[in-house]
Amino acid sequence: MSNQTDQAFLESALSFFPHLSSAEKNLLLQNTAAVSYKKGSSIHRADYKCLGLLLVKSGSLRVYIMSEDGKEITLYRIYPGELCILSASCVLSSITFDVYIDAVEDSQVLQVSSSVISLLMHDNIYVEAFANRAAAERFSDVMWAMQQILFMSFDRRLAIFLLDESASLGTDRLTLTHEQIAKLMGSAREVVTRMLKYFSQEGYVALSRGSVTLLDKKALRKLADTQP
Amino acid sequence: MSNQTDQAFLESALSFFPHLSSAEKNLLLQNTAAVSYKKGSSIHRADYKCLGLLLVKSGSLRVYIMSEDGKEITLYRIYPGELCILSASCVLSSITFDVYIDAVEDSQVLQVSSSVISLLMHDNIYVEAFANRAAAERFSDVMWAMQQILFMSFDRRLAIFLLDESASLGTDRLTLTHEQIAKLMGSAREVVTRMLKYFSQEGYVALSRGSVTLLDKKALRKLADTQP
């Protein structure tokens, strides 16, 4: 890696960096690449080559699981400044499951090769602690998603989803089809359509082809805060 | 802790032990207690005092989550020789969710106080790496449970559950009520009763008050191996 900005970004994101020897630092920097992914492209899945650690510079990634009949459940998303450890699960003995990772938008990431992560983890306890801490943090994200999916009523989940998307994109008009919302929420299109129709009748949202506009965020927030 | 057997057990289970200073070793041993829990007793929940790390000597524990309306989902179980880190989640900044832990049978555990775990994690990187690795390993267990619950058909799940219980207890006669099976599987009693009745009609199991006897394990195994 030759870019000074990328290098500074990498050093600040990887808290184990000060604990590396000079040789280890060089090895890490020489085996980190800046990579661009187009919106919607598949970055990682079980049958791809093991990628290594990803650090998001811009854009966002979605991490999900898929059933054998194609049903998807979103586990969490990864935003700029955050890192993805499950793309290096091949070198983490504690992680025995596999996930899919897609680019939600055009995204730029720094990729540290899995063989270097493996080597550093083996030789340097700070790298091992870092990698497992990063995994444990995502465990918390996944538990949140799991409780949402298993315990929460669907109207509440949809209200939270719409408010989160609106806040994250900074707009009240979400250009998403019902199919896309269903996929992102790990639900079925019919269920999303039915609930959006209800939200629209209540005046919470306005629906048009390929988009949902939030009209009454106060009402949606009230729904989102309701105890199930 | 004065018991030599307990001390040897603790040392072999905690792989960071050789990396502790003499003072740290003494601190750990002085703040570890042997505790017995009766079958069915509640060991840990969000509103209890933070317990610390548990190491199971005998019996077994069940770790689960519960919805606000009382629905339970079993995440995993902890058997002799295994440890429980989520009972020390208060001192793990990476873990932000809470779980319930019950004793499935009469159980004996070694308990390392949370304040000592916290202190050692802060001062010794090997302890921090160990704790986060233990959490990441349970992440894998939870992902397995989640995929089962979200993706797998109920007949297959029930067949797997019955075979697992039978293998783990070493008997074909399981003394479990439908209510208990439902609780352990994170399902509803009605659903369990319906499927057990079907299994019984097919000759896979025999039902009697408070027990299920496996009659045709070959058929159950075939069901368990079926792709969903």
pLDDT, tens digit, 9 for 90 and up, residues B30-56 = 999 999 999 999 999 878 888 899 999
pLDDT at position B187 over 80: no
Give A138-185 as a DSSP string: HHHHHHHHHHHHHHS-HHHHHHHHHHHHHHHHT-SEE---HHHHHHHH
Secondary structure of residue B52 in the 3-state scheme: strand
Query: Does A50 contact chain B (CB < 8 Å)?
Result: no
What pLDDT is recorded for position B1?
67
**Would you say residue A163 has pLDDT above 60?**
yes
Instruction: Examine the pLDDT at B227 and tell me if it is beyond 50.
Output: no
Model ipTM value: 0.72
In which band, very low, low, confident or very high, does the pLDDT at B110 lie, cut at 50, 70 and 90? very high
pLDDT tens per residue across span A58-92: 999 999 988 766 777 888 889 999 999 988 888 88
Chain B window 197-226: which residues touch A at a Cβ cutoff of 8 Å? Answer: none
Task: Check: CB of residue B34 under 8 Å from CB of residue B3.
Answer: yes
Residue B44 gets which letter from DSSP?
E
| High-pLDDT (> 70) share of chain B, % | 97
The amino acid that residue B73 corresponds to is I
- State the best of A85, A133, A141 to mutate against chain B, taking most chain B CBs within 10 Å: A133
Both tokens of B26, joined, read 């003494």
Percent of chain B surpassing pLDDT 90: 57
pLDDT > 90: percent of chain A: 57
In B, minimum Cα distance to A134 occurs at B94
pLDDT at A156 over 70: yes
Let me know if the fold of A4-149 is the same as that of A152-225: no
The answer to whether domain A152-225 has CATH 1.10.3720.10 is: no
Q: Kindly state the percentage of chain A with pLDDT values over 70.
A: 97
- Tokens encoding B72: 């339970």
Q: Does position A116 have pLDDT exceeding 60, yes or no?
A: yes
* Chain A environment of B228 (Cβ under 8 Å): 67-69
Q: A205 has which bridge partners?
A: A214
How much is the CA Rg of chain A, to the nearest whole Å? Answer: 20
Which string of b and e fits A176-196 if b means at least 16 CB within 10 Å? bebeebbbbbbbeeeebbebb
Taking a C-beta distance cutoff of 8 angstroms, is the pair A183, A72 a contact?
Answer: yes
Per-residue b/e over B167-201, b at no fewer than 16 CB within 10 Å? eeeeeeebebebeebbbbbbbeeeebbebbeebee
If one counts every other C-beta atom within 10 angstroms of the C-beta of residue A89, the result is: 22
CATH of domain A4-149: 2.60.120.10
> What are the residue ranges spanned by the domains of chain B?
4-149, 152-225
